C-alpha cells in the first residue's frame, strides 16, 4: 500500500513538473511570436510609407499641377500609417480639399513626438488648430492641418 502511494505521488509530481515545463515553453514561444508579429507590423507600415512616398514622387514628376491636389490625399494615408508608430489611436478623421481634421488619443510624449513629426517631415502642411483634452487615463487631441500650397 505504501509503495502504491509513493508511485502515485511520484507520478503526480512528474506530471506536474512536465506541465510546468510545457507552460514555460509555451510562454517563451508566445513571447517570440508577439515580438515577430510586432516586427512584421512595423515593416508593413514602413512599406506603406515608402509606397506612399514613391507614388507621390512619381505623380509629382508627371504632373506638377496635380501635386498640390493629391499631396494632401497621399499625406493623409502616410499620416494614418504613422499613427501606430507613435502609439496613437485614431478616433475620427475627416478631410476636405485642403484640410485634414484628426481626433486622436494617446499619451503626452506620443502626442509631442507626432506633432514634431508633422512639423519636420510634412512641411507643406500647416497646423491650423490644435486642442488637447485631458482624460483620466489618456489625452484626447484634435489637430486641423491645412495644405498651405493650395
Instruction: Give dist(CA 137, CA 133) in Å, integer.
Output: 11
- pLDDT tens-digit map of 33-90: 999 999 999 898 888 888 888 777 666 655 444 444 445 677 777 888 888 888 888 8
Instruction: Give dist(CA 60, CA 68) in Å, integer.
Output: 9
With contact defined as beta carbons under 8 Å apart, do 111 and 139 qualify? yes
pTM: 0.49
CB atoms within 10 A of CB 80: 16
- Burial class, 40, CB count within 10 angstroms (exposed 0-12 / middle 13-18 / buried 19+): exposed
User: What is the separation of C-alpha 51 from the centre of its chain, rounded to a whole number of angstroms?
Assistant: 17
- pLDDT tens-digit map of 122-149: 777 778 888 888 766 677 777 777 775 4
Name the pLDDT band for 7 (thresholds 50, 70, 90): very high
**Domains of the chain, each with CATH number or no CATH:** 46-147 (3.30.1360.100)
What is the pLDDT averaged over residues 6-15? 94
Predicted local distance difference test score (pLDDT) of residue 61: 58
Amino acid at each position: 500500500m505504501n509503495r502504491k502511494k509513493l508511485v502515485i505521488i511520484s507520478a503526480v509530481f512528474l506530471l506536474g513538473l512536465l506541465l510546468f515545463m510545457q507552460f514555460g515553453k509555451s510562454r517563451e514561444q508566445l513571447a517570440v511570436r508577439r515580438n515577430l508579429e510586432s516586427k512584421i507590423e512595423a515593416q508593413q507600415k514602413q512599406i506603406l510609407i515608402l509606397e506612399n512616398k514613391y507614388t507621390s514622387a512619381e505623380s509629382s514628376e508627371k504632373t506638377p499641377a496635380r501635386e498640390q491636389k493629391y499631396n494632401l490625399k497621399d499625406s493623409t494615408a502616410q499620416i494614418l500609417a504613422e499613427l501606430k508608430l507613435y502609439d496613437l489611436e485614431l478616433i475620427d478623421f475627416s478631410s476636405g480639399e485642403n484640410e485634414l481634421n484628426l481626433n486622436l488619443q494617446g499619451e503626452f510624449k506620443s502626442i509631442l513626438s507626432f506633432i514634431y513629426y508633422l512639423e519636420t517631415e510634412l512641411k507643406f502642411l500647416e497646423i491650423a488648430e490644435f486642442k488637447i483634452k485631458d482624460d483620466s487615463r489618456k489625452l484626447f487631441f484634435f489637430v486641423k492641418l491645412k495644405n498651405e500650397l493650395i
